[in-house]
A and B are shown apart, each in its own frame.
Chain A
Amino acid sequence: MDYDLGADADALRQRLRDLIHAHVPADFLGACTDDPADLELCNAFCRTLAEQGLLCLAWPEEYGGGGGDVWHQTIVREEMWAHHEPRGPQYMGVNWVGPALMRHGTDAQRAKHLPPIAAGEVIWCQGFSEPEAGSDLASLRTRAVADGDGWVVTGQKVWTSYALMAQWCVLATCTDPDAPSDRRITLFLVRMDSPGIEVRPIPSMLGPHHLNEVFIDGLRVSREDVLGEVGAGWTVMRDALAYERVGIARYARCESLMQRLLEVLDDDGRWEALAPALHARWVRALVDLRVARLLAYRAVGDSSGVDPAAAAVARIVTTTCDQNVAEVLVDAAGPDALDAGADALLHGAIDDHWRYAQAATVASGTIEVQRMLVSRSVLGSSR
């Protein structure tokens, strides 16, 4: 039994931190801001990572990756999320769109799409959720109707993150409403500037770019755009969601923010003055974060792929930790935590974290869906 991440783990972690320090300003809070320069910074940083073989470190070399292992990729994920994800929306292409293409795509799709992802030159979004299909994704209504050699797609997506930033989308559609739920869905790879696609941003407490509506009217797609097989989209989505659930190392940002705030409070002489009850909450939050990290390692470390139940366990713990840490940070910081902007405490990172954490148990599959997956693994099916 050994929990060492490998001989080169520390060096990789330090290399990433040095790169971030050199290319990302201290007040950076991610790509999802009103300042387009933040997205530009992310795109440039992705290209830098790609040039150094770090963007797709765990991809096979034949697809432009670094040939690293799952633990290298884990360290990348931790360091990026801890530092407010300077890859911006491109993490999604690296984490699951690319792997899904490798597993389910055609040779032509791999040749077309994998090199730009590996080079840090393309942003993908996922068109899954709909107004009437949130947790119950299999019931989505966006229709792809056969027409000549291809299909015509009409429908609506919602909560689509990065839709205004993305050049490409993995679009989930219903190709056969009469088929069983696991044979109804087909995924298409579509350009976001295609005729028939309109994006409208949704103002929210999370900040800009996190939530959008995508209206689809008469979008033409072809057989070459199908990811996987016609009617087999649910299989690909289930894989993708399992990867996505362990794809964001929320625990790493929590640990980073808690350390940064501890140092500020200690310098100000406020750390010792915190109430014992708050000290106890702080300690428990850190222990819980360690557990979240170990469960994430367990989920990604299975050589046979991400087990949905293990991913769900990790997801439940890391998302509830995220929200608990948000409260601990705000309570420890006091009223200063409500300030935003570069001059605020931790450059507004506490406010930013609290707002984003509210969505942790909703995004990428609600905590209720995760509980369903876990209970199914323990109790069997509920039907």
Chain B
Amino acid sequence: MKPALPEDAVAYGESARGRLERLGGVEFGLRAEADRELRKDAGAALADLGMLELDVRDDLDQFLAAAALCRVAGALCVPWPVVEDLVRTDGQWLALIDPAGPRVDHGDLHGEWVGAALDGAAYRLVIGALPHPAKLGPFLVPATLGEPAEQVSADDVARHLVLGAWRILGGLEAALGQVVEHVKARKQFGQALAQFQVVRFGIADASVALRGLDELARFTAWRLHAAEPAQRSADAVALRLHAVDAARAVLRTCHQMLGAIGFCDEHDVSVIDRHLQPLLREPCSGESLALRLVPAVRSGAFETLFS
């Protein structure tokens, strides 16, 4: 039992953070909304970091390095489809989609996309015209289903869901970190917000939610390399569901603690929240993810101490 991340993955994450902070951090992600060409600089920085050499289908160490990169990408709102790029096949990026209405984050960045439903049914995607600029998911682009493509493996769907959860985790950690600094510094009624018990309890609950998500993210990454196929798929859905639920609670706390400044784009939390939305809504809602797990509960594929 060793729940600590391997030193190599930690070091890689720190290296990635340094490089992507030099690119401009969250503010760079914000600027890319207005100048979408900037995203190519993010792609170049990720290439510098060796992202293209990471093989998420290989061993646990490589997967954890990829997870660390996704975590940093979430924290810094890196304007690049990092997960979709990491799970690419034959040069085609892989998006998880709702076939009834496909949308692809950063779909306009690349010529060839494969879209897969959660059951692995896959299609070549025809990327549509850029939509009216949106606040939530500013890089989402509509797509239509093209020719059927080769079935995407359940493990690739699982990897996609899990790496997406690591990106969510990174975003939430960054958001809460900002809020912690805010409540320690901001004074009202003659004392720091952090002195008020209602604030302290709110921060405590959000911290507990994040520590839980962190543990589950590590465990699930390990399970992808240690469990049976049906268990791997169930575990990935469970992690993504938990990430979506944690995001709802943690981001609500963040906004409430920050007050009006948290809604402003000059504050990272506004950008983090908006940029995370595609991961929280696509390829389906948290409720749909929960219902997808029901058969796995009944069959025992979602493993408990007594299943």
Contact = CB atoms under 8 A, between A and B. Distances in A.
A373 B307 CA distance: 34
B291 A374 contact: no
A287 B243 CA distance: 11
Interface string A333-377: 000000000000000000000000000000000001011101100
Contacts of A289: 304
Interface residues of B, number: 48
Contact of B184 (A1, A258, A284, A379): A379
A266 interface: yes
Interface in B44-76: 60, 64
Interface string B2-46: 111110000000000000000000000000000000000000000
B241 interface: yes
Contact of B195 (A279, A317, A382): A382
B194 interface: yes
B2 A286 contact: no
Contacts of B212: 288, 291-292, 294-295, 313, 317
B216 A279 contact: no
**Nearest 4 A/B pairs, CB to CB:** A375-B200, A280-B290, A294-B215, A374-B204
Contacts of B294: 279-280, 282-283
5 contacts: A3-B222, A82-B305, A291-B242, A295-B211, A382-B194
A375 B291 contact: no
B291 A280 contact: yes
A283 B211 contact: no
B20 to A, nearest CB: 24
A170 to B, nearest CB: 29
A123 to B, nearest CB: 27
Interface string A255-289: 11011101000100001000010011011101111
B297 interface: yes
B290 A3 contact: no
A374 B207 contact: yes
Interface in A1-42: 1-6
A252 interface: yes
Contacts of B238: 283, 286-287, 290
A62 to B, nearest CB: 25
B228 interface: no
Nearest to A293: B305
Contacts of B219: 3, 290, 294
Contacts, number: 145
Nearest to B200: A375
B28 to A, nearest CB: 28
Contact of A379 (B2, B203, B208, B291): B203
A280 B297 CA distance: 11
A99 interface: no
Contacts of B304: 255, 258-259, 286, 289-290
Interface string B163-204: 000000000000000001001100000000011010011011
Interface in B273-307: 287, 290-291, 293-294, 297-298, 302, 304-307
Contacts of B242: 287-288, 291
B1 interface: yes
A78 to B, nearest CB: 6
Contacts of A252: 305
Contacts of B4: 1
Contact of B305 (A1, A256, A297): A256
Contacts of B226: 3-4
B96 to A, nearest CB: 19
Given A289-B304, A382-B194, A284 B241 contact: yes
A290 B195 CA distance: 33
B218 interface: yes
Most A CB within 10 A of own CB, among B60, B245, B302, B306: B306
B247 to A, nearest CB: 14
B205 interface: yes
Decide if the interface of chain A is mainly helix, strand, loop or mixed: helix
Contact of A382 (B6, B200, B307): B200
Nearest to B218: A1
Given A283-B241, A287-B242, A291-B216, A316 B1 contact: no
Interface string A234-264: 0000000000000000001001101110100
B151 to A, nearest CB: 26
A262 B298 contact: yes
Contacts of A260: 306
Contacts of B291: 276, 279-280, 283
A191 interface: no
A115 interface: no
Contacts of B305: 78, 82, 252, 255-256, 293
A42 B221 CA distance: 40
B3 A3 contact: yes
A378 interface: yes
Contacts of B64: 1
Given A1-B6, A255-B306, A283-B241, A382 B297 contact: no
B256 to A, nearest CB: 15
Contact of A283 (B205, B223, B297): B297
B3 A297 contact: yes
A283 B242 CA distance: 10
Contacts of B221: 1
Nearest to B245: A284
A151 interface: no
A220 interface: no
Contact of A368 (B2, B201, B213): B201
B306 A6 contact: no
A340 to B, nearest CB: 23
Contact of B205 (A259, A291, A371): A371
A47 interface: no
B244 to A, nearest CB: 11
A1 B222 contact: yes
Contacts of A374: 204, 207-208
Contact of B208 (A1, A2, A317, A372): A317
Nearest to B213: A291
Contacts of A3: 1, 3, 218-219, 222-223, 226
B198 to A, nearest CB: 11
Nearest to B206: A378
